[in-house]
Each structure stands twice: as C-alpha cells, then as structure tokens.
Chain A
Amino acid sequence: MKVTIKEVHSVFAWSWLISNHAKENGESKNDVDDEEDVCGICRASFNATCPGCTYPGDECPLVVGDCNHSFHVHCIYRWLDTTSSKGLCPMCRQPFQLKRGLAINDSHIKKFQDLHLRRTQGQAQEALAEGDEEALGRVADQQSHGNGIIDEQGDVIMEQGLVVR
C-alpha cells in the first residue's frame, strides 16, 4: 500500500516569545508565576490584546524594555504618556526604554522617542516656570537619558550614572 499525502491543512497556534530574563534576575516572586504571560499594565495575556484592541498580534504587538519587561505596546505607551509614570517601567521602576536590537521593537522606536521628548520638554517648562532648580536638574538628567535612546549612534555611556528615584 502506498500512502500519498495530497494536502495538509494544518493548524498552528502562534504566541509571543516572552523573554524570561527579568525573572531570572530574581525580580519575579513565586506567586506571580501564573502570570508570566500577562501584561503588567492591563493584566491581559500577551497573546491577547490590550483593552483597546480587537485583534491580537500585528495590531496589538508587544515591546520589550531594556529591563526585559514586556508590555503591549499600547499599554506601555499609554502609561509613559502619563505624567505620573515619570518615564519609568511600571514593574521595576527603572527608566523605560525599548531594548535595542530586537526586531519587535524596531518599528516602535520613533514613536517612543517622540513621546520621551515631549514629556521631558513639558517637565522642563514646568520646572522653569516654577523656578525649581532641582526639578530642572532632574529633567536635564532625564533628557540626557532620553538622548541615550534617541542617539542612533548608540551612545550608551549616557546610560551610566543615571539615577532615578
């Protein structure tokens, strides 16, 4: 008997490859193990969408931060767009920036740069108006940190010595 496969209509389930790096750093607690595939902002699965989207995947992609925390791009963008975020990762409170060299981040870099710029400028204006030197200094720090992202040449030296409370 000869068996000839004519056609295979196969079904694949796709999922995001989530970096577990952050957890390896010991940041994750045991009790959040179940939530490893959940966006820290909207609590929805990475493989689902943020609350504002209908279609997962291309239309509601993920980004990964330098701190190795992943989020729905819409979620983290919306978060960073608030003043209360102070530009920090909501999970680890480190300044959030897209991790370099990852294909999934590539298409979002410009957008995040613009956001960062807008926020620091706003803060600088505020500080100037209030004559708050200290705040201004802090903004300057952030700005230089932002430049670190913006810098297409990859001037990573700026990243050192950045202290954020």
Chain B
Amino acid sequence: MSQHYPEDLKLLVADICAIGSQLHPGTEDDLESLLTWLNPNETNSNHQLRPPALRLKNTIKVFANQPFNSSFSNDGNFEGINGLEKELLILLRQYYIFQVRLNFFFRFDNITTFKDIQRLETYYEFPLKHVFLFQRNAEEWIVERNDLRHYLLNKNNKFKVQLRQRLRTLIMDDDFDLACDVILFLNEAQGALYSRDILLDLMLIKISHFCEKHMENIYGHHFLVMETFNSFILKYWSYFARLLGCPEDDHGLTTIIYNCFEKQFIKIRIKEVFDVFINEYPESKPTILEMKKVLHHTDDFKQLVMQFLSAFEAKILNPSVTTVDALLAYVKSIKSFLLLDPTGKYLNSVVLFVKAYFQERHELVVILLYAILDLQSEEIFQHINLPIDMKRLKILAEELRDPDFNIESKHRAGGHFEKGTESFFNESSSGKAGSDTQLLYQGVLEKFLTWTPEPTDSIPRPFNQSHRNLLDVLTNMFESKEFFVSEFLKLLRKKLLTLKYYKLNRNWSKCLKLMKEKLKNEGSRMPNHESNANEESANSNNMAVMLRDTKNSEDLCKRMHQITDLDPRIFPKFISFLYWDRKLDYKNDTTIDFKLTEVLSHELEKYRNVYKELQPGRTLQLCKDQGVVELELSTRDGYTQKYDVTLEQATAIQLFDGGESNERIFLSLGEVSIQMEIGEERAQRVLQFWIGKSVLYKNHQDLYGSCEGREQEVRAQHQSPHKTSSYSQDSLLSHEQDEQDTKEFSNKIWPFIEGMLRNLGSLKVEKIHALLKVTLPKDLGYDMITHNDLESYLSMFVDDEKLAVLSNKSYKLIN
C-alpha cells in the first residue's frame, strides 16, 4: 500500500519510524500498526470506528499519549516532554493530516450531502479520541477540518446545492435543531455560503409561506399584518435569533422582518385584488382599509391596478356577464377603490378603462336608472325587452344605497342645495315618518345633476374632494349629463306611454319633481354652455309637458267618462306629440299603421270626436304603436288568462275571437295580414308573439288557431323544454322554406351557444336566451327570436346530439 503514497509521505513515514526506533527501540512493528490504525485510507485495516485493542492501546500510550499523561500529572506543564517526543508528535500530526487530506480528496466528488460530510468528519475524528495527536494544538485540527469544509463548500457545487436545499427543508419543516448543525457547519467553514445570507433568504421564504397561510382569503381582520407578524415572531423568532446569532431584541432586524410582512401582505392582496374588491366586498372592507395603510408606493398601486384590470377584463367585461352583474361588479370596484384611495387617482384609470366597454352596453343607463329609482317589479322592462334578473338588480339598488358612500343623504354631502329644493326635501321627509326619510334617487339625482363632465381633451384630474363619490364615478360612464338626462326622459316617456291610468308611483313622481327643479336651475346657471343649456331646458320643458299632458288627460278622461255614449273601458291619453319625441304623420309608415277591429276602431273614433268638440280647433290621431290593452282570453275548457298587450297584438288576437259561441277560428298568415292591413312579415311577428304565449299555434295546413284543446299538451310542453320540439317544429318548421331558414339560423347561432356552454358549463334556456340576446351580433336578428323559438332550436341541437338536457332542464354540451 505504501508504494502508492507520494514521496513526501514516504519520507514522513520514514522520519516517524526513525524517531520511533530511537525513542523505543524494537517497537517498529507496533508503530507501523499504529500508523495503519490511524490511516483513514486503510479502510480494511484501520480503526473502523472501533476502539484500539490492548496492544495498540499500549503503543498509543507509549508513542502519543504518554507525554501528556505524565505532563498532566505535572501541573499541566509540558516542559517535561523531551525534544524527540515532541518531534514525533509533530510528525504524527503531519502524517494524520496528510492521510486525512488524501482521503478527503479521494472521496471529494462523492461527498454530496450534509450527512456525507458529517459521517466523514466523525470518521476522521474517531481516532483522535484515542490518540491525542491534537491535544496540545486543538486549533490545528479544527483549522484543518474547517479548511476542508471551506474547500468542500467552494469547490463541490453539488454539495453546496444539496446543503442549501437541506437547510431549506429543515427550516421549512421547523427542524431548527438540525438546522442549527448545518448553520454551525457553515459558520465554521466560512466558505462560499454565508449562513446569514442563506438564513435571511430562508426566513423570507418562511415568512412568505407563513403569510400565504395566514393571510390568503382572510379579509375580515383589521390588523392582519401585525397579527401575522406577532404569531410568526412568537413561534419562530427565538430560533432564528439563535441561528442568526443575534439577540432576540434586535429591533433593527425585527423591523425589517415586519416590513417583509407588509410586503408579503401587499403581494398577496394584489394577487387577490379581484376577490378582495369584488367577490368578497363588503366583507373585505377591513382588509382594504389595511391595504390603504400599507400601500404607499406608486409601483404597488400600479401593479394592483394592472392586476385588477386584467382580472376585471377577463371576468367581467365579457359578454356572458349580464349588464346588471357587470354594473354590480363595477359599483363594488368603485367603492373598493375609493376606500383604498380616496383621492380617486387610481380609480380614474379603472374608469377610463371600463368606460368604453360600458358605453357599448346600451341598456346600461336604463339599468342604472332602474336601480337608482329603485323601481321594483315595475313593468317597464317588458317593454324594453331586456332580460333582467330582478334579484340582482335589487342587490345593485341596495349597493347603490350604501351610506358609506354618501349618496343617500344630501344633507351630509354638504349644503349645496338650492333653497327651493331644500323645502321640497323637507316636505318629502316630513311626509313620511320614521327613518325612511330619504329615497335614494333624491341624493343620487342631486349628485348627477351637479355633476360636471370632465373636459374630454384633458388628462383625468383627481377627484375633487367634494365630488368624490360613487355616483360621480358612475355618471362618468356616460358621455355627458345630457345623455343621462335624455335617457331618463326616454324611460319616463316609456313609462308614461305604457302607464295604466294616470298616476305615477311615489318614486317616479318625486324623482321627476326633483329632476325638473334641477334642470331648471342648471339651465339658467350655465350661460357658457349655450347648447347644453338649450338642451337641458328643452329636456326640462319636455318633461313638464309630458307630465302636464298626463294630468290633463286624466281630467279630460273623467269628463269623457261622464258621456254615456263613450266606452268607459277606454282610458285615453292625449299627448302633445312634439314633446314626446314623436312624429305626427305615420300614416305611410307600414311599421306602425294597421287596421283596428271595427268595434275598437269605432269606440276610439267616438273619443276622437268628443275630443274635437271639447277642444275646438284641434284634432286627434291614435298612436297605434302606443298604449296598453288589457284583455282576457277564455277558452272553451274554462281556462282564463289576462294579458297586457299592445294594440297591434290585441287586434291580432281579436281576429281569433270566437265570440259568444266560443268558436275556434283558423286563419292563414295571409288572412291575418289582409285583415290587419299589414305585411306578412309583420303579421308573422305578431302571431309569433301569441304563439310564444302558447295562445296560438300553427297547424299542418299553415293555419293559425287558438291552442285550446291543445292546452294540456301545450302546457306540458311548455314546462319541459326538451319535449317542445314536436310542437315548436310544428309551428316553425312546417314550411320547407322555413326549415331551410331554421337550419341556416341554427348554424349561425350554434357557435355562440357552443362557446357559451363551453365556458359556462350547463345553462338553462332562460339564461341562454338572455345571453344570446346581448352577445349575438345585431345583424343576426336574434331579437326576433322568442324564448320558445330558442327552445326549439335547442331541442334540434339535442336531436343532433350536440347538446344534452340535464335533469334540471339545463343544457350542456355533449363531449
């Protein structure tokens, strides 16, 4: 074996042997076996981690340990050791270090784990427990050992990586005792890994894990950063302080750690911003307030806004979200942003981003007005043909009424009320006892109407303190206040024209008064904006006339009902058409005019004549596209149903009136078209309305007739979507042409339905219908499609095995 040793070592061994025989002649063999026993490279014949045998023990005593033992008895003085003994010890030490190095480098590449080096060090240190080579120079061995560690860390990358990983695992697993060993090792090695750096890194990771666990999805705490920090400190700080070798009251460090918690909090909340601001609002208010305390850097804000916008775009600004829901989400966002940043600076970028999108949704203003006016279960939506989820709308209305946002009480908002309106408000509040003194819209309209639009060419200015509220932001969605007001007027017009009798409910009438008042004031107050002022005064004027017309109609109606000849079932309204955004002359307009039934025409004509007598110089024209007819259909099987319909629809169904004999009448499309003097297309649309109500159906001879007798069948079909196909196909597909059209149309809408179901899972007919209405391109003409039509299309897709019907009657994609 010795022949493999380098020359130096050979010389060293020779020197050892020479001194050994000089000191104790005749013990050469013993000395050699000692060297072998010590030698880590003699894996088969060395100590093998077992204590020396007796003979070897004696040899050790003689060559290595004796001088110490004797000297120890001599009050710790080493003077007694003679020169040769000393020399031998030095050589033995050199020998051992030499051999250890040799062994270490031999194994170097195989040392990959902390366990490896620990085992190796134990292996190297074992003989030293029995042979006191470094008793006098303990430092020397430690320096040697640490040099090896140092070298290992710097040169064995695999080991370094492993060690790092090991430490990470230990710290993450809260195994601080073992971690302590690693740290000690690192500290002693003084190598390329600085334990403090690693520890701080690991502590950061630990903190971030800790924060994730204790902060994510927890929104109800006001001091979550402090709470989390405290529990972390309580649980871990003593360990880290020990590992870092710093005092536990190192406030500099704990402050840094606290900042880490703030950073983590910010990071987590930015990631969760959509949930925090929308899904969890208002439960998330405490955390938003905490965010407000912690967020200072523009970069953080920017990141938050970016994150929010991208989530908002993906989750809200897509066609499958209804306008009510989108608006609700937007309202919550506004509140959240204003809570976070009362200056409104960051909200502004959200507003700008969202604005364009919302402006595309034309029903937005109506929905907003509805929510503002708090028009519950009003009938107007039937007439604007919007599928609105009333429950969601109610929630939206409530969300708008949030007292935190100052839009309910104008008194709190500051005394910028005109004297005139003040008394109006007082009146209204004294009129109703109790806390419900203020209707939402009063404050809201106040805000709306004092709102001044941003100059379009300027950069968005921060929200003025006094104007900082929800409604300002909401109005910002519209191009101008005029737009809002004119939309309000449209709504009012619709409301009045479809009003039964002449009375508006309390919400409306009070709202109107206020609106009128404000418009008047605004109009006179804005000399600089002449066009605006004109428009506003025109709006105000129109409103006044519409209301006056309604009132006058009521009076006139009372007088007319005194006249015996007039049918008291008729409640006429007489409108000053110029103020109702109407044209007088529609005689040539084939989309409006049609022939009434003789009886009704006659009765209405009588009113016309009486009016001419009562109002000399004037004449009347019936607005055939306006008004409401309440009619009752009774079938032979005693089934009675009331309907509120348009004149046109009423006229159409009257053609099927079987009279007292309750006959069943069948008419072709052509006949209906001729009798009503309208085009077939229009006739079909009207008939389709009644088919949609399951009142009419089309038989195999292409004749329309009442569904009576088919009642039960039809009603059953009506209740289970997937069975309607036979009935609806009867009405829709009997014609070959129709069939082709249907096929074509179904091909057109299929991609939309498919995409929708792919994104949203299974949906019921109502939902699909509502979504298609808002998502399909206008030119597809989906607005002509009724709920029933859609059902038949869907059942076609079911027949084609594209869709499946679930037990809850919702549809889902097959595959």
Contact = CB atoms under 8 A, between A and B. Distances in A.
A9 B662 contact: no
A81 to B, nearest CB: 23
B622 A8 contact: no
Contacts of B636: 1
Interface string A63-90: 0000000000000000000000000000
A14 B580 CA distance: 12
Given A10-B622, A10-B647, A4 B631 contact: yes
B499 A9 contact: yes
A13 B571 contact: no
A47 B584 contact: yes
A5 B584 contact: no
A9 B631 contact: no
A5 B572 contact: no
Given A8-B630, A10-B647, A14-B621, 8 more contacts: A1-B634, A9-B501, A11-B575, A11-B623, A14-B577, A14-B620, A55-B576, A57-B552
Interface in B616-659: 616-623, 626-636, 642, 647, 650, 653-654, 656-659
Contacts of A5: 569, 600, 629-631, 650, 654
Contacts of A48: 576, 578-579
Interface in A93-112: 102-104
A2 B662 contact: yes
Nearest to A70: B617
B569 A11 contact: no
A3 B654 CA distance: 6
B607 A45 contact: no
B102 interface: no
B519 to A, nearest CB: 12
B239 interface: no
Contact of B657 (A3, A16, A47, A62): A3
Nearest to B657: A3
Given A1-B636, A1-B706, A3-B633, A13 B569 contact: no
B327 to A, nearest CB: 31
A9 B627 contact: yes
B185 interface: no
A13 B582 contact: yes
A56 B579 contact: yes
Contact of B620 (A6, A7, A12, A104): A12
A102 B571 contact: no
Contact of A7 (B500, B574, B611, B662): B500
Contacts of A25: none
Contact of A10 (B548, B572, B579, B706): B572
B656 A1 contact: yes
A13 B657 CA distance: 29
Nearest to B656: A1
Contacts of A1: 633-636, 656-658, 662, 664-665, 695, 706, 708
Nearest to B635: A1
Contact of B569 (A8, A15, A47): A8
A5 B569 CA distance: 8
Interface string A47-63: 11000001111100110
B574 A4 contact: no
Contact of A54 (B545, B616, B695): B545
Contacts of B653: 3
A129 interface: no
A102 B617 contact: yes
A7 B600 CA distance: 11
A17 interface: yes
Interface string A115-136: 0000000000000000000000
B570 interface: yes
Contacts of A11: 497, 572-573, 575, 622-623, 626-627
Contacts of A14: 574-577, 611, 615, 618-621
